[in-house]
Amino acid sequence: MRDGGRVSAAIEVLTEIEARHFPVKMALKRWGEASRYAGSKDRAFVSGLVLDALRRKRSLGFMMGDTSARAVVLGVLSQVWAWPVDRIAQMAGEEHGPGALAEVEHKALSAPASLDDAPAPVAGDYPDWLESSLVRAFGDGVRVEMVALSQRAPVDLRINTLKTDVERGARAVALIGAEPAGVLANAFRIPAPQAADRTPSVEAVPAFTKGWFEVQDLGSQIAAALAGDIKGKQVLDFCAGGGGKTLALAAAMGNSGQIFAHDSDARRLADTIRRGQRAGVRNLQIRSPIEAEPLKGLEGRLDLVFVDAPCTGAGTWRRHPDAKWRLSPDQLAKRQIEQDSVLTDAADFVRPGGRLIYVTCSLLVEENEDRIAAFLARHPGFAVRPISLEAVSGHVTDQGYLRLTPHTAGTDGFFAAVLERTIH
């Protein structure tokens, strides 16, 4: 495909997302199935253009003076991909291209409106209704935080020390451009790709098949590292999902003790089993909700209960930019109810002196500090244990919680609180 056809395809996909409220993955899949002629480079180009448009659609629409899918895509080419106006004009006029530039488009591309006087939600690319929530989290820093959350994200890897050592793992991932992330010894990073480039195929690396490393955002790795020394301990991953943090915890345990993986959705646990086998985990028990009482017998016995709570995912908008436009006040309220319920249920399994770690990939105080405050009010037998991981000491809040953001830490947005059960 020529550039004109690729750009037209991106406009088509973005229009379908906005008109039918499809998740971006579904819309791209539908386009791919209907466009068998498109090669891998074409798909990478279209996908990258659509995702960049979703990351910055409000600011680019403002700069272009037009919020249509066409205008935003043209804005990406100019402001994000740094295409000269002449190149954009030539592309637009190609056969199968989006059509010749109008005079107003040419003018907007040549001299886009400045964002200096744009409202914060426009400059920061987020819905208006989230303004008060984000100000609670970041105060005057909202704009810079949200601009960082509108950029492309790197690919982070965790060397699996159950299968190899960090030195050998480092040599293996260097083949796909990964370098030390600089926070945790076994964390490595592939920088975000440029414009229409593809991220290296991680799954194609033989070391991945051997279980030497996993794809896991650095923020997620740090959250798991808050568990500290858990060798020989009894650990429950209460919301295990696909198993990313389960595997990180199991590696920290060195296959000693016992780690239990549970999730309210049995389908998610199927991937945990497969990934655990590849990673060489031998101390894992799956506690599926298919069973009548999957966690019976664990009440009050566990040294650590890890709760990666269901949340809005507001910290992952670099990777899932369509999610911020689909999020609604009702969905946020529903998540808070779920978080309160999960915390209450998980607390029953913590032994006296044991710890409960609460984690979300959200930036919102309503899902984080507010939920911990509500939990402590209901459970006076728990107390905050301030984060003590030296590597992230600069990201610990005055309340002793961990807050990571793309701007401050170069990770996805994460929140974590460590609670200790002080009495029965």
What number is the average pLDDT over the span 63-87? 97
Q: Which of 113, 147, 168 is the last residue of a domain?
A: 113
Residue 200 pLDDT more than 90?
A: no
Give the percent of the chain with pLDDT over 90.
89
For the record, the structure tokens of 67 come out as 């919020």
At 78 the pLDDT is 97
At 320 the pLDDT is 95
At 160 the pLDDT is 98
Give yes or no: residues 187 and 241 share one domain: no
At 20 the pLDDT is 87
Question: Residue 11: inside a domain, yes or no?
Answer: yes
Pick from 326, 406, 1: nearest CA to 196: 1
Give yes or no: residues 227 and 361 share one domain: yes
Three-state DSSP at 185 gives: coil
For the record, the structure tokens of 34 come out as 């209907």
Give the separation between CA 247 and CA 229, rounded to whole angstroms. 15
Q: What is the Cα 409 distance to its own chain's centre? A: 14
At 353 the pLDDT is 96
Residue type, 143: R
Residue 297 pLDDT more than 70?
A: yes
Residue 396 pLDDT more than 80?
A: yes
What number is the average pLDDT over the span 151-178? 96
Residue 224 pLDDT more than 90?
A: yes
Give yes or no: residues 253 and 401 share one domain: yes
Give yes or no: residues 260 and 177 share one domain: no
pLDDT tens per residue across span 317-326: 999 999 999 9
- What residue numbers does the annotated binding site for S-adenosyl-L-methionine cover? 263, 308
Question: Residue 353: inside a domain, yes or no?
Answer: yes
pLDDT tens per residue across span 352-372: 999 999 999 999 999 999 999
Give yes or no: residues 383 and 296 share one domain: yes
Residue 195 pLDDT more than 80?
A: no
For the record, the structure tokens of 230 come out as 């858990």
What number is the average pLDDT over the span 212-240? 97
Q: Which of 215, 231, 257 is the last residue of a domain?
A: 215
At 37 the pLDDT is 87
Question: Residue 207: inside a domain, yes or no?
Answer: yes
pLDDT tens per residue across span 41-51: 899 999 999 99
At 424 the pLDDT is 63
Question: Residue 165: inside a domain, yes or no?
Answer: yes
- What residue numbers does the annotated binding site cover? 263, 308
At 172 the pLDDT is 95
Question: Residue 297: inside a domain, yes or no?
Answer: yes
Query: DSSP of 263-301, one letter per residue?
Result: -S-HHHHHHHHHHHHHHT--SEEEE-TTSSSTTTT-TTT
Q: Which of 163, 196, 215 is the last residue of a domain?
A: 215
Question: Residue 189: inside a domain, yes or no?
Answer: yes
What number is the average pLDDT over the span 331-347? 98
Give yes or no: residues 224 and 207 share one domain: no
Structural domain count, the chain: 3
- CATH number for 296: 3.40.50.150
Question: Residue 127: inside a domain, yes or no?
Answer: no
Catalytic residues: 361
Residue 196 pLDDT more than 70?
A: no
Give the percent of the chain with pLDDT over 70.
99
Residue 287 pLDDT more than 90?
A: yes
Give yes or no: residues 211 and 222 share one domain: no
Domain range for 206 is: 155-215
At 45 the pLDDT is 93
pTM value is: 0.95
Query: DSSP of 370-395, one letter per residue?
Result: HHHHHHHHH-TTEEE-----GGGGGG
Give yes or no: residues 16 and 85 share one domain: yes
At 193 the pLDDT is 82
What number is the average pLDDT over the span 179-186? 94
Give yes or no: residues 41 and 161 share one domain: no
- CATH number for 190: 3.30.70.1170
pLDDT tens per residue across span 4-28: 999 999 999 999 999 888 899 999 9
Query: DSSP of 16-41, one letter per residue?
Result: HHHHH---HHHHHHHHHHH-TT--HH
CA angle 404, 410, 412 (to 5 degrees): 55
Q: Which of 82-91, 159-168, 191-200, 280-289 has the lowest mean pLDDT?
A: 191-200
Give yes or no: residues 10 and 83 share one domain: yes
pLDDT tens per residue across span 228-240: 999 999 999 999 9
What number is the average pLDDT over the span 405-422? 97
At 75 the pLDDT is 97
Average pLDDT, the chain: 95
Pick from 248, 362, 245, 367: nearest CA to 307: 245
Pick from 386, 383, 412: nearest CA to 401: 386
Give yes or no: residues 229 and 187 share one domain: no
What number is the average pLDDT over the span 245-253? 97
Question: Residue 135: inside a domain, yes or no?
Answer: no
At 70 the pLDDT is 97
pLDDT tens per residue across span 82-139: 999 999 999 999 999 999 999 999 999 999 999 998 999 999 999 999 999 999 999 9
At 38 the pLDDT is 86
* Residue 14 CB partners (closer than 8 Å, separation 6+): 50, 53, 54, 69, 72, 73
Give yes or no: residues 45 and 165 share one domain: no
